[in-house]
Structure 1
Amino acid sequence: MKKIFSCLLLIGTMAHAQDIIEFSDPNFKTALLNHPTLVDTNGDGEIQFTEAETVLDLEVSASNISAMPEIQYFINLRNLACNGNNLATLDISMLPQLGIVFCDNNALTSLLLNHAPHAMSLFCNDNQLVTLDLSNLGIETLYCQNNALTAVNLSGITQLYESNFSNNQLTALEFPEYSISSGDILTISNNPLTSFTLRHSSLVNFVCTNTAITTLDVSHCSFYRTGVNLSNNPNLQYINLKNGVGDSCDPAIDSSCNRGWQIDNCPALKYICVDSFEEGTFFSEHVTNVPVYSPYCSFVPGGNYNTITGNVRFDANNNGCDENDLAMPYIKIRANDTTDENAAVTDHNGNYSIYTTSGNFTVAPIIERPELFNISPLSAVATFPFDNASHEITQDFCITPEGMHPDVEVVVVPLTTARPGFDAVYKIVYKNKGNQILSGSVVFNYDDSFSDFVNAVPDPSAGQIGLRAFLYNNLLPFESRQIIVTLNINSSVETPPVHSGDVLSFLASVSPIATDETPLDNNFTFNQTAVNAIDPNSKICLEGEILDSAQIGKYVHYNINFENLGTANATNIVVRDVIDSNKFSMESLQVLNSSHPLSTKVKGNVVEFIFENINLPPSSISPIGGHGNVLFKIKTKSDIPIDGTIENTANIYFDYNAPIETNEAKTTFRLLKNQQFERDSSISIHPNPAKDVVKIQSKNTIKSIALFDVQGRILQSSAENKKETSIDLSQQSKGIYFLKISTEKGSKIEKIIKE
């Protein structure tokens, strides 16, 4: 019996020994035996496997532990604190239920984690880690500062609420989209990062100081009520904060808005990209000493947005629009809902894009004379769901003529100032605003005694002293063309001299006139005051500084000139014009011409003429190519009082430089003395019929005369400056002609019979 009992005792002892964990570091075992919560449940001074499996929370901090590979036996462990030891490696990859790990203040060079998707907090700061693989972890809190990290794998992380990566050797750090959620804290300071991008996050506190970052892209992130510190980044040049949401927060209204922004000691900072609606408010309140901030780092909104896009074509033969029909530039497309009013103007290829929020938008072309055309569809509804996503709807439009209505207009545009002794450049823009294909001529009159013709593009079809004529053919509806004329202005020592302050007059006429439905805009007079200074970036009302009050409620023309005065090509240029909607009808705005292809966006009373990829060379290298312009017309409101003024400036953005503000273009409506409005009834001609000379008289100064045949072609024209003049018909054939006489008070068209 004794022998049997001894055998059983030996077997039991051996089984008990096999259940005991052998520890490589006795300090780890000692810490377990001294654990506040009983680990050695049977009190035998050993730790059995079964005892390890029952432990849920383990705290062995500051226990002089150098190795603890036996942690793998604690398979049900949920929380581990082993900070403040001498660990060089830690493998907890076999512990799938770990939720919180404190392993900071060790000498770790290797940390292996279980890549389970459950929520986890990791504190591994103040170690010697070089790499850290957190892929596909459900990690929510991460403190890994004060290591030697050169790479951190964050792929697959979905919700990281609080993290600190500071004081490492990270040159790059990439967060998956939507990995950082509302209420987050992120610190990435003291790393050799050169760039950083973060998207779709709502942070409470963001600290990025003492890095080598040159560009910081935090677009699509919300910084409302956020404390942001970007100080002490000596290489930081560019910040992209264009996120489509409000970041401005007033502490006087919301007490949680006291965190603020800090951007100190960033001497290289040149540009901050913001949303247009915060351009003039947020950074002026929160950030000082920033050279430039604007929304034009991109030409689409920040954050999520919807797009209405399409093409407009003209169907001249009424057989339906297809790709063979001509695309129509400069057609305004409006998209309105109950709160927003957006519009775009088709580009040179007839394409448009309008960016909207969610909701139902009515989309329709807005043309100057809609009664002349059939538009299909007349309007359309674009519906975007409220799902915080980006959608696109395509809506094309087809325009066909209704009846036969010829109508052409002409405008004279100064591309330079008139400086005595220098060349001045003028653009004559003529546009078909009727619905018939037109052919005719453009005549440009100038006072040859004060200027000399240099050249024109295209070459004139005919010319004489003070006049140049240009034939045109097949001008399509909505099409505009241009003529560039260069004149040399007399200097102050020529005869007659031109001095600063002298007024030079120019007249352009376009035919056909006799059949034109609105003949008043077939002539355009432009008066330019000679100056000694150059004004390269300017805005001008072409009707002048004083206008007859009879013109209230009618179109006025504006031209904006810009010039690249820098040393490198300007990649993108934006002309931004904030128009006073109390004095102008935004509905009536029509773009007539531009020097380069552009897209035009209208939101409320803000018009943006966008020259994307214009690559405008410096004018110092390319005097001709370094300039550009945009021409538009707009109706004034009909309730502007006599002696009321219309005034406006524009801002011109050259790439990432501060905007250049133009001069103020100011025009006053006056009740002019002895006004004859548009028709001057004092004009008389005789004899009629006539064989040769027809005498012309007026009580007012005659400014120009022009003779047309019955087809509307200009046969003769001249600039005048007197109350009596004449025209010689001896070289014309017998028949019927039309004579248009323009005075300082109006104009009159007379039918003449040549015998």
Structure 2
Amino acid sequence: MKQLLLLVLCFFALANSQAQIVNIPDANFKAKLLEASSSNQIAEILNYGYDVIDYNYDGEIQVYEAEEVISLNLNFSEISDLTGIEAFINLEKLECRQNQISVLDLSQNTQLVELDMLWNNISNFNFSSLVDLEILSVGDPLIDIDLSQNLQLKNLYLASSSINSLDISNNVSLEMLRIIAPLISTLDLASNINLISLGLSNLNSLNSIDISHNTNLQVFDSSDVIFTSVDLSQNLNLVTFRCINGQLTALDLTNNALLEHVRCDNNFLTEIDISQNPLLQLLDITNNQITSLDASGNLAINSLRLNNNLISEIDVSQNQELYSLEVANNQLVSVDLSNNFLINFANISSNESLVYVNIKNGNIDELVQIFNNPNLETVCIDSNELSNGGVAIGPSVVPLSEYCTFIPGGDYNIISGYIIFDSDDNGCDTNDLSYPNLRLDISDGMDSGITFSNNAGEYTFYTNEGTYDIIPNIENPSWFSVSPSNVQIPFIDLNNTVNQDFCITPNGTHNDLEIVIVPIVAAQPGFDASYQIVYKNKGNQVLSGSVDFTYNDSVLDLISTSAVPDIQTPGNMSWNYADLNPFERRTIDVVFNVNSPMETPAVNIDDVLDFTAVINPISGDEIPNDNTFRLEQVVIGSYDPNDITCLESGTVAPEKIGEYLHYNIRFENTGTAPTSFVVVKDIIDGTKFDLSSFQVMHSSHDMATRITNSTVEFLFETLSLGPNEMGNIVFKIKTLDTLSVGDSVAQQAEIFFDFNFPIETNNAETSFQLLSIEDTRSTDSFVIFPNPSKDRVTIEANSTIESITLYDVQGRELSSISVNALIHLLDISNYRSGIYFLEVSSLSGNRLTQQLIKK
């Protein structure tokens, strides 16, 4: 009996178990349910999160298992039949997007809050039982939709090519509405006062839209619509407005102060006023007919897309948050991004009137496209911008310049001040002298730089964050005291300015003068040649004396001098000077006419003209070698007015290794209009020159000088140089003392006139050879050694010496002897220390002259 009862109970238990299995005829639907696990997001289980549905793992879905499910994601699962869904009575969210379902009955799923049934084959559906529905995504091939019972609906996405009307007047809770329905011709939103976001796409039949009642609206997003206007005057909370590919002819945003994003690309707008939208971050009005735009008040804007309009002027100098600018295919004449430090991308292509682009802003990581601008003349960039390839220009070659401004791009700090010489030994004050062309070195321990004070004694450094040491570098440092001797300036951030003056006082009594002869206009047979005698007091005492100048009177006719000589004889001129202050520089200009080949003596191309300048007093001068300067100038036929010359000539004696060489860089405006600035750049070869010895001697116009790494820049920042007007720079630099006989050094410069391509000068090469003077019309030569000498010197020639004549720097003959030998030993022990000249005459009739220094 007990066995029979047990058998009956087992039978009923088995039958009950079979009855609790949910009937799911669609294999793909069932497989999807069985696939659910904690590692995917197919099913969310009440109180357990994402997990398995078949938690007894019998390969079936029991009713009690279905009732535990509150969310199902069945998207993209090739399901055609959702029979069995009725068992999921506690389902709150169902996603069955893009399947093959044609019939869907959710009448038992009354707990549904969110439903996504897009892209199936459902043509009819009854929503009336889903009274708790809040989020709905629905579309084709549905031909009608009744949402009158879905009073809790907050979010509706409708994409249908069949539905021609939509009544949402009962859905007053609606907050988000997105419609893609080309047949809908009217849309009444008056009841939807809680609407926050409205999206309208492809409403090709909707001629107008009224959103005046939707005062809570924050997002209006439309595309491919045909209405020509939209009234936003009541939408004070609007944050985003988009009308893409529309028919708008006008747009009034003056009441929308909270707007952050506006996109109205591909419309018919002729103007837009964004002055009342201070929070605006993005503006896209690509492909309209806008002629002007004022964004000066939109300080938060970071992206401007203005391609394909009629804009002729754009000022973004106030938009410092801007990181993207697109202004291709407009009528712009210039684009200036120098104040836009955050700019990351810019497209400035296809502006036929574009002449000037400035992207010098301190940001070298930007990507800038500047294509197809046929009239573009200049692109101003940061000095190291080209190295990253971020600037794309074409197809024509356009000058790239960093000199549109002479301050760095972006943010920086400024250190500036004056160099003052305490001439009356009572402390530096406004009555004292400025110190021009004083070198100052700066370093933060990693990077270093050099600048020079200008003619007013003023200097400026531009720096980043860090701690900077500044040290004045005087040519004769032991002769002066500098206060402070060095200074350390810390910067923890940017946009700071520090003023630091330096006061220089004499230390002891030291006399030191220097002089140099600078050719200004080249010597050509039959033409005028001009020269400038530059002399300077490098000592610490006020000096008076004379400047003596000798030249070959037989081949040069004096035309003029800027100062009347105090003494003048054929081939000699002397000027007295008085009260030459320490660091003071003065000049004397001299113009000669060079004999032509038809005159006697004739001057031909490649002849050498000899000039000597001496500044006195030599006695007591602590560095007498630079009191005398000899210029051996080669006569030329034609010349480039923009050149560089080593004033010691192309060959110098080995004794000059490790000593100063003097260079003159000439520049001339060969254009038809005055310049606005001129820059001369010279890259120093650090393997042959000692950059620490670099000194500026003279410039024709006021300039600033800076050195970065091995690049020297002479900046004439405001130089208005008229057509055919000239200028020049004279500097000196020591060669390394490690060079050897036979080695050569060279200098070459680039000259920038405004924004034009730089003019490259010649390569001024100088070699160190055993000292000899060769007349270019003969093979005779001789050498003097040792030179300098205290007592005796040897003169050795390659042809028989007839006579030797000794002259002082005034050109006065001191002695003359007959030799008739190849070698002669000359005693000079009875002569005073100074500069002399030896003239050697050969039996062949040639006369050669060489400078001799008596120690």
* TM norm structure 2: 0.71
Further displaced range: 153-162 or 517-526: 153-162
Question: Which structure 2 residues correspond to residues 179-328 of structure 1 after superposition, within 5 A?
Answer: 179-181=300-302, 186-198=304-316, 206-221=325-340, 226=345, 229-247=347-365, 262-279=369-386, 282=389, 287-328=394-435
- Which of 489, 506, 509 lines up with 1:401 in the alignment? 506
CA contact (8 A) 2:313 2:332 kept: yes
- Paired position in structure 2 for 1:368: 475
Please give the per-residue CA displacement for 1:529-550, whole angstroms capped at 9, x wherever unaligned: 0011032101011111111122
Shift of 1:353: 1.0
Structure 1 range deviating more: 454-463 or 515-524: 454-463
What secondary structure, in the 3-state scheme, does the structure 2 residue paired with 1:588 have?
strand
How far the C-alpha of 1:484 sits from its partner, in A, is 0.6
One-letter amino acid of the structure 2 residue matched with residue 120 of structure 1: T
Counterpart residue number, 2:50: none
Post-superposition Cα deviations, 1:580-617, rounded to whole Å, max 9, x if no partner, equal 12222222111111111111121111111111221111
Query: CA separation in 1, counterparts of 2:330 and 2:189?
Result: 38
- Equivalent in the alignment of 2:273: 152
Structure 1 residue 137 corresponds to structure 2 residue 258: yes
1:162 positional shift? 7.0
**Alignment pair present for 1:465 and 2:558:** no
Tell me which moved more, 439-448 or 158-167: 158-167
CA 1:281–1:460: 2 relative to 1, 3 Å = farther
Q: For residues 442-473 of structure 1, what are the alpha-carbon distances to aligned partners after superposition, in whole Å with 9 as ceiling and x for unaligned?
A: 11111001101111112222211011111211
Map 1:14-25 to 2 at 5 A: none
Q: In the alignment, is the contact (CA less than 8 A) between 1:423 and 1:487 conserved in 2?
A: yes
How well do the aligned residues superpose, as a CA RMSD in angstroms?
3.5
Instruction: Tell me the CA shift for residue 144 of structure 1.
Output: 3.7
Match of 2:620 in 1: 515
Aligned to 1:678: 788
**Which amino acid is 1:212 matched to?**
Q
Q: Tell me if the contact between 1:682 and 1:699 (Cα under 8 Å) persists in the aligned partners.
A: no
CA contact (8 A) 1:247 1:282 kept: no
Distance 1:420 1:723, change over 3 A: farther
Q: Which residue of 2 aligns with 1:603?
A: 708
Residue from 444, 447, 459 that aligns with 1:352 = 459
Alignment-derived partner of residue 168 in structure 1: 289
Residues in 2 aligned to 1:117 and 1:380: alpha-carbon distance in whole angstroms: 56
Q: 2:836 aligns with which of 738, 741, 751?
A: 741
Which of 675, 686, 697 aligns to 1:581? It is: 686
> Which residue of structure 2 aligns with residue 251 of structure 1?
none
| Aligned position for 1:334 | 441
Secondary structure of the 2:273 match is strand
Find the aligned partners of 1:39 and 1:410 in 2 and give their Cα distance: 103
Q: 2:533 aligned to 420, 428, 437, which one?
A: 428
The 1:47/1:278 distance shift into structure 2, 3 A limit, reads: closer
In the alignment, does 2:742 pair up with 1:643? Answer: yes
- After TM superposition, give the deviation of residue 486 of structure 1 in Å: 0.4
Secondary structure in 2 matching 1:371 = helix
Inter-partner Cα distance in structure 1 for 2:372 and 2:748: 34
Specify the alignment match of 1:80 in structure 2: 198
Residue 535 and residue 55 in structure 1: after superposition, are their counterparts in 2 closer, same or farther (change >3 A)? same
Counterparts of 1:468 and 1:590 in 2: how far apart (Å)?
28
Q: Is the 8 A contact 2:678 2:717 kept in 1?
A: yes
The alpha-carbon deviation at position 111 of structure 1 amounts to 4.0
Q: Deviations over 1:312-360 (max 9, x none)?
A: 1111112111122122211112221122212211111111111111111
Aligned residue identity for 1:236: L
What amino acid sits opposite 1:542 in the alignment?
A: L
Aligned-residue sequence identity (percent) comes to 32
1:98 aligns with 2:218: yes
Q: Shift in Å at residue 570 of structure 1?
A: 0.9
The structural deviation recorded for 1:165 is 3.2
- Take 1:420 and 1:201, find their aligned partners in 2: how far apart are those partners? 60
Please, which of 550, 555, 558 is the counterpart of residue 660 of structure 2? 555
Task: Say which SS state the counterpart of residue 472 (structure 1) adopts.
Answer: strand
1:670 is displaced (CA, Å) by: 2.1
Q: CA deviation at 1:158?
A: 5.1
Question: 2:811 corresponds to which residue?
Answer: 718
Output the amino acid matched with 1:194.
S
Report the residue type matching 1:655 in the other structure. Answer: D
1:483 correspondence with 2:588: yes
In 2, the alpha carbon distance for the partners of 1:155 and 1:290 equals 42
2:689 counterpart SS class: coil
Identify the range of structure 1 (186-195 vs 201-210) with the bigger mean alpha-carbon deviation: 201-210
Shift of 1:125: 4.8
- What is the rounded CA distance, in whole Å, between the counterparts of 1:567 and 1:297 in structure 2? 20
Relative to structure 1, is the Cα distance of residues 203 and 394 closer, same or farther in structure 2, using a 3 angstrom cutoff?
closer
Q: Using the alignment, how far apart are the partners of 2:537 and 2:330 within structure 1? A: 59
Of the three residues 90, 108, 111, the one matched with 2:228 is 108
Counterpart CA distance in 1 for 2:474 and 2:556 is 38
Report the counterpart of residue 756 of structure 2 in structure 1: 657
Asked if 1 retains the 8 angstrom alpha-carbon contact of 2:147 and 2:167, the reply is no
Relative CO higher for 1 or 2, CA cutoff 8 Å, sep ≥ 6?
A: 1
How many residue pairs get aligned? The number is: 658
**Aligned-pair CA distance for 1:264:** 3.6
Decide which of 785, 805, 808 is 1:705's aligned counterpart. 808
Conserved 8 A contact 1:564-1:618: yes
Deviations 1:141-173 (A, max 9, x none): 634442323233156645735734332223234
Q: Which of 98-107 and 369-378 deviates more? A: 98-107
The answer to whether the 8 Å contact 2:244/2:267 transfers is no
Aligned partners of 2:523 and 2:636 also within 8 Å? yes
Distance 1:140 1:115, change over 3 A: same
Give the C-alpha shift of residue 665 in structure 1. 0.8
Instruction: Indicate how the Cα distance of structure 1 residues 407 and 266 shifts in structure 2: closer, same or farther if over 3 A, else same.
Output: same
Compute the TM-score of the two structures, normalised by the length of structure 1: 0.79
* 510, 526, 541: which one aligns with 2:646: 541
Contact 1:580 1:605 (C-alpha < 8 Å) held by counterparts? yes
Q: 1:530 to 1:37 in 2, by over 3 A?
A: farther
Aligned to 2:52: none
Separation in 2 of the partners of 1:401 and 1:147? Answer: 76
Q: What is the CA–CA distance in structure 2 between the aligned matches of 1:424 and 1:329, rounded to whole Å? A: 29
Residue 586 of structure 1 aligns to a residue whose secondary structure is strand
Residue 786 of structure 2 aligns to which amino acid in structure 1?
A: Q
Contact 1:491/1:497, CA 8 A, preserved across alignment: yes
Cα distance in 1 for partners of 2:744, 2:705 equals 26
Change beyond 3 A, Cα 1:114–1:281: same
Greater CA drift, 434-443 or 332-341: 332-341
> Are residues 430 and 113 of structure 1, via their aligned partners in 2, closer, same or farther at CA, if it must alter by over 3 Å?
farther
Unaligned ranges ≥5, structure 1: 1-32, 249-259, 620-625, 685-697, 707-716, 726-735, 751-755
C-alpha deviation, 1:433, in angstroms: 0.5
Distance of 2:489 and 2:419 partners within structure 1: 17
